[in-house]
Amino acid sequence: MLDALPVTDIGKPYKLTLRADATRRAIAEALAPFNGVTVDAVIEDGTVVAIVTLMSEVDKTRVTATLSRYTVPFRLTFQGNS
């Protein structure tokens, strides 16, 4: 549940922000079995993009296979020793 809906300047619900939040939640849930993964979602050029950060020990191939089930574009970033 959200505390408040994001709205535009004229008070209409801002659907793109809602989609970004839904994307972040869904992908975070799908990647929950992987330790060392964080998920964010941003809006780039009017499109929601998932940003997935992996610690160096996470299996990139398995994470990518999981993400490929979604139609949302994603970008992997890495943290720690590579």
* pTM, entire model: 0.80
Q: In the chain, what are the domains?
A: 15-79 (3.30.1340)
pLDDT at 6 over 80: no
Torsion 58-64-70-76 (CA) sign:
positive
**Helix 15-30 with 60-67: angle, nearest 10 deg:** 130
- What whole-number percentage of the chain has pLDDT above 90? 70
- What whole-number percentage of the chain has pLDDT above 70? 87
